[in-house]
Amino acid sequence: MVIKKLYTIGLLTGLFSQHALAGPADYVNVPNVESGEKEIDFKAGTAKLANGERAQQSSIGFGYGVNQYWFTEVYYQHEREGSDAVSIAEWENKFQLTETGKYPVDIGLVVEIEAPLNKNQAYELTVRPLFQTEFGKVQLNGNPVITSTYGPNKGPTQLGYQWQAKYRWKPTFEFGLQGFGGMGKWNNWDAADEQDHKMGPALFGKFDIGTHQAIKYNTAMLFGTSNGAANSTFRMQVEYEF
């Protein structure tokens, strides 16, 4: 059973893999939705690029569980690479498509729209099917990522992935691995030495601070495993749930 679950996640991730270069603050989506939950979400990340420049990304958002199947969230995001900067408004919607734990693999879907606040920048539509399975205290996630751009400076549709494996030691401290990557155009992958793949150790946890209130965190130190990836990336996410 354990081998079968590992194979399922690996196959799903591999079949659909890869998107445009993942931003330094990107995080791994999970399919679960809780009705009525509200959250304030902060994300940040910094990456040392192969050309010596540094890319930075941060965002602040508010989300709400509309019902047991739909969670919606709006963000303000800021990105900088070298001397170039852009501000973005983002709307993310997550849909839980299967009942948690009913099937060997939980399935969800994220649809995300990014609208740049700077002129002459493309709009971005991202779709992420979400897959999660577990055995004992081990949880596995594997998500393909499909990204299309529209408007000025439109680019080709990109294919990417995100995954994580974590050991749920105790609620306040869990540990594991995360990975992100991209192969370029969905129908014409980049040469192997130009693809973007990175992975590294990650920490997770949740602290209950009152009735229906909690602070969740996850953070990772990622290292490029291909020539097209950033040399190193540090990312973190903190959520206040109420």
| Res 192: pLDDT | 80
Q: Spell 199-208 as b/e; 16+ CB within 10 A means b.
A: bbebbbbbee
Strand-pairing partners, residue 31, are none
Provide the residue count of the chain. Answer: 242
| Res 113: pLDDT | 97
Q: Domains along the chain?
A: 2-241 (2.40.160.40)
| Res 19: pLDDT | 36
Take residue 239 and report the two structure tokens written for it.
């959520």
| Sites in the chain below the pLDDT cut of 50 | 1-20
The structure's pTM equals 0.88
Residues 6+ apart with CB under 8 A from 37: 63, 64, 65, 71, 241
Contact assessment for residue 145 and residue 15, using Cβ atoms and an 8 Å cutoff: no
Nearest-angstrom CA–CA distance, 93 and 6: 27
Take residue 242 and report the two structure tokens written for it.
């109420």
**Residue 217 dihedral angles phi and psi, to the nearest 5°:** -140, 155
